[in-house]
C-alpha cells in the first residue's frame, strides 16, 4: 500500500466520524427543540386551566382568615311555569276574635354569606333560615339564628334533571346512589348543621320524582323527628304521597318570592303570598339571600305584619290527610 492511498483512507475515515458526530449533534438539538416546544405547550395549557378555574370559582375568606377557594351555590332551578296545586288545608271558620292567617317565610341557601344572613336576622320579623350542608359559615350562622330564637332547617341538595351540568353542591343525594350510600350521606348532612327542626329540598327535580328514594329519605327524617317542606321544583314531585304514607309532618311551598330579582315582581309575589294565606289560613313563601329581597322585605314588613302573622315553618306543617 502506498503512502498516498493510506492517507486517503485515513481522511475518509476521519470524514465518516465527523459526519456521524454531526448527525448526533443535530439529532440531540432536534430532541431538545421538541422537548422545549412540548414543555411550552403544557405550561400554556396549565396557565389557561388555572385562569379558567379562577374565573369560575370566587375566592372567599375562610374562618381562619386565609384565602380559600369556594364555589358559591346556584340558588335554585325554578320551574319554567308556576306550579299550582290544591292546598289540603281550608280557611279556618270565623270566630268572634279574628285571627290573622299564618305565613312562614323561609330564607333558602344560607351558609356562604354571613353579612346578608345577618341583615335578614336583624329584621323585626319571624323568619326561618334554611342552611346548605357543609357550607362555609353554617355553624356561625346556625348558632346566631338559634340565639335569636328563630328556626333553622337543612336545605338538602337533591339531584336535579340538569345534573351533572348543574351541581347542587356538597352533600348532594343522587338517584345513582345505593340505599346505604344515600342514607349515610343524608345523615352526614343532617349532622352537619346544629339545631335544625326540619328539611326542605335544594333543587331535586329528578330525585323528588323517585318514590323509592324519597321514601328512604323520609324514613330517616321520621326517625330523627324532622319535618319536610317540598320546595316544589317540579310538578311531578312525589313528596306528598310519600309523606302521607309515612305520616311525616309535611307542607309545600306556595310562592317563590324572588326568582325574578326585580322590586315590583318581589312586591307582587309577597302580595300573592298574603292572598293565598288569606284564602287558606296559611301559606309558605321561599326567598333567597339577595340584597334586593332584603330591601323589599324590610320596606313591606309593617304592612305585611298587619295582614298576616309571621310564624316559624314548623307551625305550618301537618300530617297529610
pLDDT given at position 321: 85
pLDDT band at residue 122 under the 50/70/90 scheme: very high
What pLDDT, in 10s, does the model give residues 163-221?
999 999 999 999 999 999 999 999 999 999 999 999 999 999 999 999 999 999 999 99
Predicted local distance difference test score (pLDDT) of residue 26: 67
- pLDDT band (50, 70, 90) for residue 320: very high
pLDDT of residue 5: 55
* pLDDT for the residue numbered 8: 54
3-state secondary structure the chain: CCHHHHHHHHHHHHHHHHHHHHHHHHHHHHHHHHHHHHHHHHHHHHHHHHHHHHHHCCEEECCCCCEEECCCCCCCCCCCCCCCCCCCCCCCCCCCCCCCCEEEEEEEEECCCHHHHHHHHCCCCCCEEEECCCCCCHHHHHHHHHHCCCEEEEEEEECCCCCCCCCCCCCCECCCCCHHHHHHHHHHHHHHCCCEEEEEEEECCCHHHCHHHHHHHHHHHHHCCCEEEECCCCCCCCHHHHHHHHCCCEEECCEECCCCCCHHHHHHHHHHHHHHHHHHCEEEEEECCCHHHHHHHHHHHHHHHHHCEECCHHHCCECCC
Q: How far apart are CA 300 and CA 316, in angstroms?
A: 22
* pLDDT reading at 284 higher than 60: yes
User: pLDDT: is 60 or 171 the higher one?
Assistant: 171
Domains of the chain and CATH, by start:
102-315 (3.20.20.370)
Residue 243: pLDDT band by 50, 70, 90 thresholds?
very high
User: Given a cut of 80, is residue 30 above it in pLDDT?
Assistant: no
Q: In this structure, how many other beta carbons lie within 10 angstroms of the beta carbon of residue 215?
A: 15
* Position 95 pLDDT exceeds 90: no
Do 311 and 104 contact (CB within 8 A), yes or no?
A: yes
Q: In the predicted model, is pLDDT for residue 41 greater than 80? A: no
Model pLDDT for residues 126-135, shown as the tens digit of each residue: 999 999 999 9
The mean pLDDT value for 139-167 works out to: 97
Q: Model pTM?
A: 0.75
pLDDT at residue 102 greater than cutoff 90? yes
pLDDT at 56: 35
Dist. CA 256–CA 200, nearest whole Å: 13
pLDDT of res. 97 = 54
**Res. 147 pLDDT band, cuts 50 70 90:** very high
22 band by pLDDT with thresholds 50, 70 and 90: confident
Amino acid at each position: 500500500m502506498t503512502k498516498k492511498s493510506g492517507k486517503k483512507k485515513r481522511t475518509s475515515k476521519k470524514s465518516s466520524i465527523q459526519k456521524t458526530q454531526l448527525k448526533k449533534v443535530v439529532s440531540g438539538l432536534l430532541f431538545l427543540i421538541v422537548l422545549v416546544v412540548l414543555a411550552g405547550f403544557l405550561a400554556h395549557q396549565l396557565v389557561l386551566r388555572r385562569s379558567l378555574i379562577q374565573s369560575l370559582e370566587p375566592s372567599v375568606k375562610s374562618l381562619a382568615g386565609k384565602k380559600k377557594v369556594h364555589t358559591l351555590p346556584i340558588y335554585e332551578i325554578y320551574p319554567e311555569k308556576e306550579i299550582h296545586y290544591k292546598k289540603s288545608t281550608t280557611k279556618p271558620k270565623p270566630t268572634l276574635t279574628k285571627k290573622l292567617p299564618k305565613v312562614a317565610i323561609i330564607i333558602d341557601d344560607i351558609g356562604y354569606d354571613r353579612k346578608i344572613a345577618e341583615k335578614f336576622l336583624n329584621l323585626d320579623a319571624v323568619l326561618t333560615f334554611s342552611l346548605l350542608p357543609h357550607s362555609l359559615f353554617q355553624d356561625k350562622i346556625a348558632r346566631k339564628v338559634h340565639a335569636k330564637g328563630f328556626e333553622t332547617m337543612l336545605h338538602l341538595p337533591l339531584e336535579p334533571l340538569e345534573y351533572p351540568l348543574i351541581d347542587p353542591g356538597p352533600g348532594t343525594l343522587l338517584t345513582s346512589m345505593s340505599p346505604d350510600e344515600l342514607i349515610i350521606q343524608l345523615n352526614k348532612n343532617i349532622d352537619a348543621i346544629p339545631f335544625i327542626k326540619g328539611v326542605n329540598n335544594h333543587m331535586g327535580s329528578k330525585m323528588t320524582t323517585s318514590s323509592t328514594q324519597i321514601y328512604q329519605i323520609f324514613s330517616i327524617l321520621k326517625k330523627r323527628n324532622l319535618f319536610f317542606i317540598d320546595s316544589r321544583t317540579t310538578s311531578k314531585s312525589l313528596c306528598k304521597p310519600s309523606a302521607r304514607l309515612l305520616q311525616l309532618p309535611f307542607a309545600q311551598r306556595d310562592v317563590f318570592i324572588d326568582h325574578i330579582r326585580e322590586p315590583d315582581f318581589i312586591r307582587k309575589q309577597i302580595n300573592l303570598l298574603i292572598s293565598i294565606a288569606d284564602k287558606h289560613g296559611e301559606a309558605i313563601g321561599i326567598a333567597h339571600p339577595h340584597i334586593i329581597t332584603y330591601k323589599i322585605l324590610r320596606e313591606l314588613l309593617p304592612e305585611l305584619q298587619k295582614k298576616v302573622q309571621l310564624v316559624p315553618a314548623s307551625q305550618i306543617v301537618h300530617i297529610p290527610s
